[in-house]
Amino acid sequence: HAAKEAGAVTVLTDAAGASRATAEGLGLPVVVVDDPRSHVAALAAAVYGQPARGLVTLAVTGTNGKTTTSYLMRAALAAAHPRAALCGTVETQVGPVSFEAERTTAESPVVQRFLALARECGAGAAVIETSAHALSLHRVDSVVFDVAAFTNLQHDHLDYYGDMEGYFNAKALLFTPEHAKRAVVCVDDEWGRRLADSAPIPVTTVSALTDAPAHWRVRGAHPDPSIGRTVFTLVDPDGTGHEVRMPILGEVNVQNTAVALVSAVAAGIPLDGALRALEAAPQIPGRMEKVNPEPGNQPLVVVDYAHTSEALEWTLRSTRELTAGRVHIVFGTDGDRDASKREQLAGIAAAGADVLWVTDENPRTEDPQSIRDYLLRGIASQRPSMADVTEVRTCRRDAVRRAILAAQPGDTVIITGKGAEWYQEVEGIKHRYNDVPVAREVLECDLRSHV
């Protein structure tokens, strides 16, 4: 009845829904199909006038790096499309307007509305961060992307997909003629190599962190302290090297940057223009984001989303490279999610950081103490002495504050797990919270008074 009152003129449902509509006396035409969700995208695309056809469209999927790569893609596209739009985990951005995102990939009517707004605003191009769930649940149906990119596949979401094979098959749906015209695939891991060999669309390959054979290859990646960037050479299919000065720190972001640049080239952007546009890009929210880029006599504070074992290992390795002193990590892990990775995550934190602050992330309906106990067991397996390990039972805000106040100039405090998330979810309630302003407040107020 609420839908009817809001202006609905027809009901699309399955047999069970049709029976309910009749019983409730809705008085609306009812269209019955086996799987209503699989038809919604096509209907939304028709309502909005097939908006994807008026844009250059790019998608990116993978376990780690989707958000970073999507921002870097948009930055590179700016060489030809300065108003390029973005829809992803952190935000939906069309022109000067930005909306906070509820999930990585919105439901299909929202995706089609985003594309329609992008077309109307003259964006010229649009980037959509595409999760495995979005592909399984038909959220990006009725969009045939000009370029679909793959970063990597790591242990995540196995509570939903059961095993890595099921997870891979969901990701692989993007690389079919129904969803994309061409693919850019990073072949640093076995899943990327398998996808490159099996995808039924044209594939361009990239290797960044390994020596795997590929059309485009990364060589000589290294941090350059004089400019505060990571620099590498991107070797094109003709064997010509191009210097890349990344706008974001970290070894893992070499992979993300290479995939973004090659995707822009695949979408028709000249490489020289893409390089210039990408180098001018601002920081990416919650992705190796420096809260105080010029730390002076303060510790450097960095916020990063790293929430899988592989991402955390890469993040800590990158943090170590830019740190003269000690590395402090503030971290937790999600409740009501894959618990099998918790102790491994904690072991990686213990191996990669000097000082550990164990706190809460999004407990959801799970007991926060139970989650922290998992992490403490994982830390103990790597560091039996439990030296420089503090469990903060009060709140995440307090953990951030205590870590920053305990750090010295030359140290780095890396706050992981939430990135740009604007909430902390406890018992079904999303409380307003973001690591960056919390850390900034400590740096600007508490630390100065503490000193």
- DSSP labels, 307-351: -SHHHHHHHHHHHHHT-SS-EEEEE---SSS-GGGHHHHHHHHHH
Range 42-279 has CATH code 3.40.1190.10: yes
156: pLDDT confidence band, cut at 50, 70 and 90?
Answer: low
Q: What is the mean pLDDT of residues 96-101?
A: 88
Domain boundaries, the chain: 2-34, 42-279, 289-450
Percent of the chain scored above 70 by pLDDT? 97
What pLDDT does residue 159 have?
A: 65
Contact yes or no for 140/51 (Cβ under 8 A): no
Q: What is the mean pLDDT of residues 318-322?
A: 89
Query: In this model, does residue 157 exceed pLDDT 60?
Result: no
* Cα 77 from Cα 56, distance rounded (Å): 10
Same fold, 42-279 and 289-450: no
Q: What is the mean pLDDT of residues 241-260?
A: 92
What pLDDT does residue 248 have?
A: 87
Q: What is the mean pLDDT of residues 378-403?
A: 97
* Cα 398 from Cα 379, distance rounded (Å): 21
Helix locations, 176-230, DSSP H: 190-198
What pLDDT does residue 161 have?
A: 62
Backbone φ and ψ of 115, nearest 5°: -65, -40
What pLDDT does residue 160 have?
A: 63
158: pLDDT confidence band, cut at 50, 70 and 90?
Answer: low
Query: In this model, does residue 450 exceed pLDDT 80?
Result: no
pTM: 0.89
Query: In this model, does residue 451 exceed pLDDT 60?
Result: no
Return the minimum-mean-pLDDT range out of 72-81, 162-171, 345-354.
162-171
Q: What is the mean pLDDT of residues 257-272?
A: 98
For residue 200, the surrounding DSSP H or E stretch is none
Q: What is the mean pLDDT of residues 5-25?
A: 90
332: pLDDT confidence band, cut at 50, 70 and 90?
Answer: very high
Q: What is the mean pLDDT of residues 206-215?
A: 96
What pLDDT does residue 154 have?
A: 86
Query: In this model, does residue 148 exceed pLDDT 70?
Result: yes
In angstroms, the Cα distances linking 284 to 32, 68, 243, 248 are 44, 7, 21, 8
Ramachandran assignment for 410, one of left (phi > 0), alpha (psi -120 to 50 degrees), beta (any other): left
79: pLDDT confidence band, cut at 50, 70 and 90?
Answer: very high
Q: In the chain, how many H helices and how many E strands? A: 17, 21
What pLDDT does residue 357 have?
A: 99
What pLDDT does residue 441 have?
A: 96
Tokens 């390795």 locate to 317
Sheet of 56-61: strand order equals 97-100, 91-94, 85-87, 125-129, 56-61, 147-150, 183-186, 203-207, 216-224, 229-235, 241-245
212: pLDDT confidence band, cut at 50, 70 and 90?
Answer: very high
Interval 422-447: pLDDT, tens: 999 999 999 999 999 999 999 998 76
* Closest C-alpha to 90, from 420, 423, 436: 420
Return the top range by mean pLDDT from 42-51, 227-236, 280-289. 42-51
What pLDDT does residue 41 have?
A: 96
Write the CATH number of the domain with boundaries 289-450.
3.90.190.20
* Cα 3 from Cα 394, distance rounded (Å): 43
| DSSP-based three-state secondary structure for 414 | strand
Count of positions (residues) in the chain: 451
Backbone φ and ψ of 55, nearest 5°: -140, 155
Contact yes or no for 284/266 (Cβ under 8 A): no
310: pLDDT confidence band, cut at 50, 70 and 90?
Answer: confident
* Cα 253 from Cα 242, distance rounded (Å): 17
What pLDDT does residue 175 have?
A: 98
Backbone φ and ψ of 93, nearest 5°: -130, 120
What pLDDT does residue 164 have?
A: 86
